[in-house]
A and B are shown apart, each in its own frame.
Chain A
Amino acid sequence: MTTLTDPPQESFRLSMLLNDTRYRSYTFQFLALIALFAAFGYLGANLVQNLRAAGLNISFEFLSEPAGYDINQRLIEYDSQRSHWRASVVGILNTLLVAFLACVTATVLGVIAGVLRLSNNWLVRKLMSVYVEAFRNVPVLIWIIIIFTIMTAVLPSPRAFRGDDPAARMLFDMFAFTNRGVYVPAPSFSSGIFGTAADWLIILASLVASFFIARWNVHRADQIQEATGQRPVTVWANLAIWFGPLIVLCWMMGLTWEYPELGGFNFSGGWTIRGSLIALWFALAIYTGAFIAENVRAGIQAISKGQTAAAASLGLRPGRIMNLVILPQALRVIIPPLISQYLNITKNSSLAIAVGYMDITGTLGGITLNQTGRAIECVLLLMLFYLTISLSISAVMNIYNNAVKLKER
Chain B
Amino acid sequence: MSDTSSQRIEPFVRTDMLPEQAPPATQSGLIKWSRDNLFSSTSNSVLTVLSIVAIYYIAVSSAPWLFNGIWNASSIRECREILDGAVGGCFAVLTERWNQLLFGFTYPDEQYWRPTLAFVLLLVAAAPVMFFKYLPSRLLAFTAVYPFLAYWLIWGGPILSPIFALLGFVAGYLVWNQLVNRSFAMGFFGAIVAAFATWVIGGAITGAVAPEQTLLSAVPSRDMGGFMLNLILGTVCVSLSLPLGIALALGRQSDMPIIKWICVVFIEFVRGVPLITLLFVASVVLAYFFPPEASIDLILRVIIMITMFSSAYIAEVIRGALAALPRGQYEAADSLGLDYPQAMRLIILPQALKISIPGIVNVAVGLFKDTTLVSVISMFDLVGMIRGPILASTEWNGVYWELFGFAALLFFVVCYGISQYSQWLERELATDHR
Is B256 among interface residues, defined by CB-CB distance under 8 A? yes
- Contact with A137, one of B255, B258, B259, B419 (Cβ below 8 angstroms): B419
Is B32 among interface residues, defined by CB-CB distance under 8 A? no
How distant is the Cα of A123 from the Cα of B68 in the complex, in angstroms?
A: 28
Distance in Å: Cβ of A322 to nearest Cβ of chain B: 14
How distant is the Cα of A137 from the Cα of B414 in the complex, in angstroms?
A: 8
Size bracket, chain A contacts = 35 or more
- Contact with A376, one of B275, B288, B400 (Cβ below 8 angstroms): B288
Contact A25 B255 (CB under 8 A): yes
Contact B290 A46 (CB under 8 A): yes
The secondary-structure label for the interface of chain B is helix
Q: What B residues does A379 contact at CB under 8 A?
A: 277, 280-281, 284-285
Distance in Å: Cβ of B101 to nearest Cβ of chain A: 13
Chain B: CB-nearest residue to A116: B47
Q: What B residues does A51 contact at CB under 8 A?
A: 288
Q: What B residues does A32 contact at CB under 8 A?
A: 256, 258-259, 262
Contact A153 B398 (CB under 8 A): yes
Contact B280 A142 (CB under 8 A): no
**A351 and B276 in contact, given A53-B292, A137-B411 (Cβ under 8 angstroms):** yes
Contact B259 A387 (CB under 8 A): no
**A47 and B288 in contact, given A141-B373, A142-B372 (Cβ under 8 angstroms):** yes
Is A335 among interface residues, defined by CB-CB distance under 8 A? no
Is B369 among interface residues, defined by CB-CB distance under 8 A? yes
Surface stretch bound by A, among B266-274, B347-355, B425-433: B266-274
Q: What A residues does B290 contact at CB under 8 A?
A: 46
The secondary-structure label for the interface of chain A is helix
**A36 and B262 in contact, given A134-B412, A347-B273, A351-B373 (Cβ under 8 angstroms):** yes
- Contact with B408, one of A138, A350, A354 (Cβ below 8 angstroms): A138
Q: What A residues does B415 contact at CB under 8 A?
A: 136-138
Is A124 among interface residues, defined by CB-CB distance under 8 A? yes
Is B217 among interface residues, defined by CB-CB distance under 8 A? no
Most A-side CB within 10 Å, residue of B48, B277, B411 = B277
Is B387 among interface residues, defined by CB-CB distance under 8 A? yes
Chain B: CB-nearest residue to A56: B288
Contact B289 A121 (CB under 8 A): no
Contact B404 A145 (CB under 8 A): yes
How distant is the Cα of A75 from the Cα of B224 in the complex, in angstroms?
A: 41
Contact B269 A387 (CB under 8 A): yes
Is A382 among interface residues, defined by CB-CB distance under 8 A? yes
B-side residues, CB < 8 A to A, are 36-38, 40, 44, 47-48, 51-52, 54-55, 255-259, 262, 268-269, 271-277, 280-281, 284-285, 287-292, 339, 365, 369-370, 372-373, 375-376, 383, 387, 398, 400, 404, 407-408, 411-412, 415-416, 419
Between-chain CB contacts (< 8 Å), 26 pairs: A29-B259, A32-B259, A33-B258, A46-B288, A49-B291, A51-B288, A120-B36, A121-B48, A123-B51, A123-B52, A127-B51, A133-B416, A137-B369, A138-B412, A141-B372, A141-B383, A145-B387, A149-B400, A153-B400, A379-B277, A383-B273, A386-B277, A387-B272, A387-B273, A390-B272, A390-B273
Q: Which 3 A-B pairs have the closest CB atoms?
A: A390-B272, A122-B37, A137-B415
